[in-house]
Amino acid sequence: MDVVMHGASHQGLVRTGNEDAFVCGSQVFAVADGLGGHNAGEVASRLALGPLAALDGGINPGDDLAQVLAQAIRSGNDAVLADAQANPERHGMGTTVTAAALCDGAAHLAHVGDSRAYLLRPPDSLWQLTADHTQVAEQVRQGLLSNEEAAVHPERNVLLRVVGLDPEIDVDTPEPVALAPGDRLLLCSDGLNAVLNDEAIGVLLGGADDPEAVCDELIRATLAGGAPDNVTLVVVFVR
Ligand code: CA
């Protein structure tokens, strides 16, 4: 499977720092959206991605890769907790993590929080591969809120699961996705989907013919929409 990839991050137009982080390796990809203020979120997102970055290049086809990713997220969770314990000013920091590993023609995923993985399959099918771990997304799943209501809900950013706050974390491992030539995978922090709806994301993800140009276009559209948050993307094209 021939893949090309690109990752990018932008502070946005409102925030004074960038607490997002990403991994864009040859086989392993991830985004993390840190929270905590006073630069603690920035520490949390980078610490959480360390074990995932270390996996890149060493992925073994025989392994249960979603579980390998989940274990790396748990190691990142331990690292964030240990740092917060040693540095009281960072107590309470945390981060989302959405990770993918590509191997033998499939994407394997593991995920905590409200960053997202999307798959675009030509000509125009877009799937969100991850479930947002937010109170409002849970209410949408239960039929208590519509997607439209959730998109503007005042508590839409309240997370049900975060990396770095508790010794035990529940990591989602969605079913692996068999990839086909032409497929495009996107990992993003919520600074993207807070501004662009799925339709706009699908159009821009399917637009330009290289991943760097797609990242540029998605960030440009987010900035044009006011970019109230940090925005981070990893785009992978299957050739
Ligand atoms: Ca964010």
| Strand, helix or coil for residue 23 | strand
Q: How far is the CA of 9 from the centre of ligand 1 (A)?
A: 11
Residue 188 has pLDDT above 90, yes or no: yes
Residue 20 alpha carbon to ligand 1 centre in Å: 7
Q: From 90, 100, 69, select the one nearest 169 (Cα to Cα).
A: 69
Q: Are 193 and 116 in contact (CB under 8 A)?
A: yes
Separation of 150 CA from ligand 1 center, angstroms? 16
* 3 Cα–ligand 1 center, Å: 27
Q: Give the pLDDT score at 18.
A: 96
Ligand 1 centroid vs 95 CA: distance in angstroms? 9
Regarding pTM above 0.75, the answer is: yes
Residue 94's φ and ψ, nearest 5 degrees, are: -160, 180
What span, in angstroms and rounded, lies between the C-alpha atoms of 109 and 124? 22
Ligand 1 is a single-atom ion; what residues have CB below 5 A from it?
33, 189-191, 229
Tens of pLDDT along 60-88? 888 999 999 999 999 999 999 999 999 99
What is the 115 CA–ligand 1 centroid distance (Å)?
8
Phi, psi angles (nearest 5°) of residue 34:
-80, 150
